[in-house]
Structure 1
């Protein structure tokens, strides 16, 4: 079957469904961009911000509150930028295609914000620069995800998306290893991650091409279109159910991971640096073990929904293990099950979502709306987790919520009609 180095040709119109398989080199560059983004995002979220806020505030409760505040502000930024970046990339006339320029712009903003955040010495500055970082993260994610329906045929999407799942799991593992074993200082950790984000985005931004949008195909952009664009795709039932499932599975995963460092320190009473590293390794191996075979099987059979429902339920069970067994063996079992569930989920659900996008000319914007369901749960989990840990029952309640949200995610996929 014919393949191409760049993900498209000038003979194909920008809004046409792709039919030619993308080559391994394109997939590699695409994966590297996602890898760098998630490596930095999770290492900062799970290790550097907790360390930095503990150093600034001097106690665990205040550090949790500071971390929650940073992410509440970031949530507002995420909601706006996800859709706006998608809208703008849908209308970009760059000669390399609509998406590549937004990947490198986002990487520069994200990387620069991290470098400056590393020297922040007040909670206010941590909050401010983490909000700026979300501008870069959201721009990168909207562009990276939109290239899949732009350039990858349906019969290859779960396999390609499975590499996104690998990037989303192996990237954080490497980032956490770097900041817990090599880059031990907070400033140097932020700086190294900021530089790596940019370097890993360059191959995709400069070595691939998308199908170019012509001036005649570009629609005008106004403020009303941006506002309406947030809710318009949610009027389509299948898209709305897919959005809901994605939101709750990401919320389940975020609640399971985000306060792991504090959980190991305060509840399990082990070295949180070493414990987080061990659990992250096990989680990552489990994600990769489930991700690639699930993507292959889903593309081969054409069936998405059943696997998404099973994997979501596995995440819920992992939450119960964390809640009922606050020990290192229990945390190990929970991390493995959480990884297996999420690995099977992310490759298949990402392919499913590309099949329920309402309009091809709005792929970037609509996936920007989906990106709200990707990013907002991690911000919401930080805020919600802070309240739950400090005021509403502690870590037992927190991990019970992992179970509840995982089951809700499984149920949300069932009503989708346009995908098997």
Structure 2
């Protein structure tokens, strides 16, 4: 029997604000879907793709990975907006989002299986772009399901579960493909199997309130394209987008070059110490997300945790900047994790409270999700420029972490003008 919101019968429209909790089973399947997304994304991007690139083009592996990552980022941006928009217009009896999660799961599974057998650079780029179509569809539809089914007073709880998935998913995925499934083919097949068991429960066993024909927005591609930037005209939405961009950029700047920082500046085994620090980061993020989500739902306050998050991420950057030692890295990683956990506890809740129109929830959340993806493109470019201009042994890393500090402080400032959220 499908799991759905208890108030579906009482709600006259899929565009109404939900008033009752969708229940633990719905939240569990929703969280598992996000867990699979983060596990597959980070395990493949940080371990399996580099391993595959080295086997295909050992002399140009960094270039191959950068091209694969850039194309994937562009695909992700487009798919998030399109899937969000078309799911807003879906008339399926099971609800607007479930069919798109199912579509994404099927594409992801097929793509992961095919990715393991690619032995050319072109094949890697094309098939990984296909995987991104699937993963982005899953993420876009799951994100849009939150304001559809979860009341405002419970969204920080759901956001904290998303935060746990975003922190623990990469750690578990990386550990599995680094130790248990160490081959390229076996790693991709394992990730495909995990996708089946973690994503399909939401796609097949939950229900949303179906959209009626009379409620359906204009469906032309031109209308969707024209409306992509429309929500940014709303001040609260624009400030929330900007805040997410800068807090994600700060976090990305602190992490993207961590492996090289450990090797070049501290002089320790980067593989071993990256694992240690990721464990600390994850532990801090999970605890902070749980506690922060409960506090936010109880008080109704969201912006305070964003400010706390920004400050903690900035302090973490100071530790990396000022003292290239293992102890400073330990403290910095723990603070960075706690800071991200504080943000994750309210991120989904805050964003869903600044959406301009119920009819365009999915599309507008797709626009918001761009602020999740662009920072990693910018972080790679800014970090590479800092290290190239100032050197790995001189000012390169201090400049890199100074940028992380500055962007964290900007994030704290950009959340303040939001008026519709406390």
TM-score range, shorter chain: over 0.9
Bigger drift between 237-246 and 185-194 goes to 185-194
Contact 1:118-1:186 at 8 Å conserved across structures? yes
Bigger Cα displacement from structure 2, 341-350 vs 127-136: 127-136
Contact 1:283 1:336 in 2 (8 A): yes
Instruction: Work out whether 1:318 is the aligned partner of 2:316.
Output: yes
Within a 5 Å distance, the mapping from 1:171-210 to structure 2 comes to: 171-210=169-208
Residue 222 of structure 2, aligned match among 209, 224, 235: 224
Report the equivalent of 1:165.
163
Give me the whole-angstrom Cα distance separating, in 2, the residues matched to 1:258 and 1:104: 31
Q: Give 5+ residue unaligned stretches, structure 1.
A: none
Would the aligned equivalents of 1:264 and 1:271 in 2 still touch at CA under 8 Å?
A: yes
Residue aligning to 1:332: 330
- 1:193-272 alignment to 2 at 5 Å? 193-272=191-270
Write the distance in 1 (CA, Å) between the matches of 2:333 and 2:174.
15
Q: Which deviations, in whole Å up to 9, do the C-alpha atoms of 1:40-70 show, x marking residues without a partner?
A: 11112222233333444435xx443333222
Aligned: 1:115 with 2:113:
yes
Q: Counterpart in 2 of 1:415?
A: 417
**How many residue pairs are counted as aligned between the two chains?**
415
Cα shift at 1:341: 0.2
Identify the residue that residue 23 of structure 1 maps to in structure 2: 23
How far is 1:204 from its partner? 0.8
The answer to whether the 8 Å contact 1:115/1:191 transfers is yes
Distance 2:55 2:325 in 1: 27
Q: Deviations over 1:296-338 (max 9, x none)?
A: 1111111111111111121122123223333332222221111
Q: How does 1:340-359 map to 2 (within 5 A)?
A: 340-359=338-357
In 2: Cα distance, 1:89 partner to 1:312 partner: 33
Report the counterpart of residue 366 of structure 2 in structure 1: 368
Aligned CA RMSD, in angstroms, stands at 2.0
Q: Is this contact kept in 2: 1:71–1:382, CA < 8 A?
A: no
Please, which runs of 5 or more residues in structure 2 have no aligned partner?
Answer: none
Which of 383, 396, 399 does residue 397 from structure 1 map onto?
399
Which stretch shows the higher mean deviation, 358-367 or 226-235? Answer: 226-235
**Partner Cα distance (2:329, 2:348) in 1:** 28
Partners of 2:260 and 2:49 lie apart in 1 by 12
Render the CA deviation track for 1:278-297: whole Å, top value 9, x for unaligned: 11111111001100110111
Give, in whole Å, the separation in 1 of the partners of 2:278 and 2:295.
Answer: 26
Mean Cα deviation higher: 44-53 or 23-32: 44-53
Alpha carbons 2:320, 2:329 under 8 Å: kept: yes
Deviation at 1:266, TM superposition (A): 4.2
Q: Distance in 1 between matches of 2:259 and 2:49?
A: 11
Conserved? CA contact 1:67–1:382, under 8 Å: no
- Structure 2 CA distance, aligned partners of 1:201 and 1:123? 29
TM-score with structure 1 length normalisation? Answer: 0.93
**Equivalents in 2 of 1:69, 1:384: separation in Å?**
16
Secondary structure (helix, strand or coil) at the match of 1:21 reads: coil
Change (3 A) 1:398 1:380: same
Residue 417 of structure 2: SS of its match in structure 1? coil
Alpha-carbon distance, 1:387 to partner = 4.1
Equivalent of residue 128 in structure 1, options 111, 126, 129: 126
CA gap of 1:318–1:15, structure 2 versus 1, over 3 A, is same
- Alignment of 1:285 with 2:283, yes or no, is yes
How far off is 1:223 after superposition? 2.2
State the partner residue of 1:154: 152
In the alignment, which of 133, 140, 143 is matched to residue 142 of structure 1? Answer: 140
Q: 1:106 aligns with which of 104, 107, 119?
A: 104
When residues 64 and 312 of structure 1 are mapped into structure 2, their CA distance, relative to the original with a 3 A threshold, is farther
Q: Is the contact made by 2:117 and 2:185 (CA closer than 8 Å) also made in structure 1? A: yes
Partner residue in 2 for 1:9? 8
Contact kept in structure 1, 2:3 and 2:205, CA below 8 Å: no
Q: Distance in 2 between matches of 1:378 and 1:78?
A: 12
TM-superposed CA distance for 1:74, in Å, is 2.0
Q: Tell whether 2:278 aligns with 1:276.
A: no
8 Å CA contact 2:80, 2:140 repeated in 1: yes
Q: Secondary structure at the match of 2:284?
A: helix
Per-residue CA shift, 1:94-126, capped at 9, x if unaligned? 121001111121122223323322333343333
